[in-house]
Amino acid sequence: MCARAFWVMAVGALLGLMMFPAPLKATLKLYLKDGSYQNVKSYQVIGDRVRYFSEDRSDWEEIPKSLVDFAATKRAETEKKVVQAKQLKAAEQLQNQRFETPTYSGYQIKPGVRLPGDSGVYAYDGSRVIQLIQDPSRVVTDKKRIALIMVMPGPLLKKQALVILSGPKAAVRITVAQPTFYIQGSDNWAEHAQLLPLVQKKDERVVEKVQSGIGMGKSGELRKDLPLERKRLAAGVYELRPLQPLESGEYALGELIEQKLNIDVWDFGIDLPGSK
């Protein structure tokens, strides 16, 4: 099978999955008022009880209606629809980038290969220029840390919040271990950009942890960043190269503003051949 045919099939399959996603009830989160949730395929309210089919235990169960946070459950459904719409748009953009030949008028990074003329963040995998999408993350309370603090005598642990991205994977996928990144912009934020490995947790990706209060450990933002080689190519154009090959997984490029991370990051995933 030729490479073009493979890409047509792969992108077509991705678009098909995103255009006709599995019903929400198959991966529904039924939130409880204590902040936890149950993975359910469906649920129904019967009087003062809520009956649901547990995805983890493959059986019907019941709990009191008073324990269920219906507002959070509905909010999770809405967020899931937003993520699916964003993934569909990104997949369509990738398809256009792969099979159409736009006329780029920006900086030439290789003979015959130019960046778009617009400001943005781009990745080059050796054959194509891929535009990364800025994805807004959000800050949530680390409920497991709060539970530990409550059972411990005295202020032994600091409070902790998590900066997370919705969805287990980024919409943009790259299939080489050492892509080259290009950042175009008039504010030169690329001089302080960080490449961050993300931690996958169920249907979310953790960008960083933020610790505060009294207790052991450091205060402030806690995150890992991977070393980058930076080069200024022209006014407002920077090239960033990872110093080491990236493993299959989820990553993001982030902007530091006075040593604080802008939580709207440019996320992407690495899918190396042979990896699961």
Query: What pLDDT is stored for residue 105 in this prediction?
Result: 67
DSSP letters spanning the chain: --HHHHHHHHHHHHHHHHHSPPPGGGGEEEEBTTS-EEEEEEEEEETTEEEEEETTTTEEEEEEGGGB-HHHHHHHHHHHHHHHHHHHHHHHHHHHHHH------S-EEETTEE--SSSEEEEE-SS-EEE-EEEE-EEEE-HHHHHHHHHSSSS-B-EEEEEEEESSS-S-EE-SSS-EEEEE-TT-GGGG-EEEEPEEETTEEEEEEEEESSSBS--EEE---B-EEEEEEETTEEEEEESSPPPSEEEEEE-EETTEE-SEEEEEEE--TT--
pLDDT at 77: 80
pTM of the entire structure?
0.59
List average pLDDT for each run of 10 residues in the chain, which is 276 residues long.
44 43 56 85 89 87 92 81 73 60 71 88 93 85 47 54 87 94 90 93 85 56 89 94 96 88 91 82
